[in-house]
Amino acid sequence: MIQLEGDLGATDTLRFFEEKLGAGIWRLDVLTGQMHWSRGFHELLGLNPGTVAPSIEEFNQRVHPDDRPLKRDVGDMLLDGLPLEREFRIIRPNGRLRWVHDQAEILFNEAGEPAKLLGVALDITKNYESLQPLRAGIERHDALIRAVEGLVWTASSDGRITSLPNWKAAGQDGPRLVHGHGWVDLLHEEERDAALKSWSVAVETGRPYKVEHRLLQPDGAYRWFRCSAAPILTLDGSIQEWIGTSIDVHDQKQLEFSAPPSRLTGAQMRAARGILNWSVRRLAEQAGVSSGVVRRLEEYDGALPVSDESLEVFRKVLSDSGVELLFPQIGKPGVRPR
């Protein structure tokens, strides 16, 4: 604590600012190599004045090994004649780490030659600690992008692709064609309208986006991709941007196409009606059969005991209405929104 006895002198004023700002002053004589540390600089290092002789070597012992050496920086500074500015960690005698921001300038003598270096160091540990959760989030985000087996992309709130951070790792030739709305031109014409409609609905409502479609490849062939995206919201709930993935599922789709068609089950019919929010009567009207037929068929959990022609009618009605019928090689048949 500074005791006020009349007006503050330069020494007391300097001490006041060092104490309040967590700062310290250092000075180096270029010719003799002698160094001077202010009281605040000693305290920044966790030392009491007079316990060590100030020097670059003594200071470097306090600097974290990964952030050394200061001597080389000072030498570069003298050669370049430019101010020195750097951030590094120091290790105090009690073992605690502190982050320091250091700035220095060269003071010249009357002959225009470097005479002294004058520097000020600030303890910025609180700044680093407050940013640590943000850094951790960024590192997790980067790790997740590296782990994704597909193309990661971001889009603006209105749906324009803005970046593809892992396009090289994903084996793409370049991001130029898919930026903005360029990806639309790569869509296969059979899936283009459905994909655009789904994307427009997602952008307008903020609902997650999920669709499968074919994309044109550099060799002129089309490959199937499963695209998913979710919105990143601002504090007021509006969409800030989108982040999505496009995963190549071409080989999986080829297996599905080559597999013999499976028979529709009663359980799939019930689930499909639930997805579409259809009544028994609505499905019967769409399929051109009576309501009693639909009720009877839905009593079966397994394959429906109907002709292939009747089976195809039900499959087409449900598929055209937005339901995808799933027949995995392992597990039970299922349904999902297309």
- DSSP labels for 76-139? HHHHHT--EEEEEEEE-TTS-EEEEEEEEEEEE-TTS-EEEEEEEEEE-HHHHHHHHHHHHHHH
C-alpha span between 287 and 247 (Å, rounded): 35
| Tens digit of pLDDT at every position of the chain (338 positions) | 445 455 556 677 777 778 878 888 999 888 888 999 999 999 999 999 889 999 888 888 888 988 876 655 666 666 565 568 888 899 999 989 999 999 888 888 888 888 888 899 999 998 888 877 777 777 777 777 777 778 888 888 888 888 888 766 655 555 445 666 778 888 899 888 888 899 999 989 989 999 998 988 888 889 999 999 999 998 888 899 998 888 888 888 877 666 555 788 888 999 999 999 999 999 999 999 999 989 988 888 888 888 888 888 898 999 899 999 888 766 678 899 87
Query: In CATH, which of 3.20.20.150, 3.30.450.20, 3.40.50.300, 3.40.1180.10 is domain 10-129?
Result: 3.30.450.20
Token duo for residue 238: 């509006």
Helix (H) or strand (E) holding 17: helix 10-21
C-alpha span between 30 and 184 (Å, rounded): 65
Closest by Cα among 95, 101, 104, 87 to 46: 95
Looking at residue 99, its amino acid is W
Q: Do 137 and 109 contact (CB within 8 A), yes or no?
A: no
Query: In CATH, which of 3.30.2270.10, 3.30.450.20, 3.40.50.970, 2.40.10.120 is domain 148-256?
Result: 3.30.450.20
Q: Give the model's pLDDT for residue 275.
A: 92
Token duo for residue 66: 């990964």
CATH architecture of 260-337: Orthogonal Bundle (1.10)
Q: Give the model's pLDDT for residue 1.
A: 44
Q: Give the model's pLDDT for residue 76.
A: 62
Q: Where are the domains of the chain?
A: 10-129, 148-256, 260-337
Looking at residue 131, its amino acid is L
Q: What is the pTM of this model?
A: 0.44
Which residue is associated with the tokens 């030739």? 173
Q: Do 241 and 215 contact (CB within 8 A), yes or no?
A: no
Q: Give the model's pLDDT for residue 170.
A: 55
Exposed/middle/buried for residue 327 (C-beta within 10 Å: 0-12, 13-18, 19+): middle
Calculate Rg over the CA atoms of the chain.
35
Contacts 24+ apart (CB under 8 A), 67-75: 74/28, 74/117
Q: Give the model's pLDDT for residue 79.
A: 57
| The domains spanning 10-129 and 148-256 adopt the same CATH topology | yes
C-alpha span between 158 and 161 (Å, rounded): 9
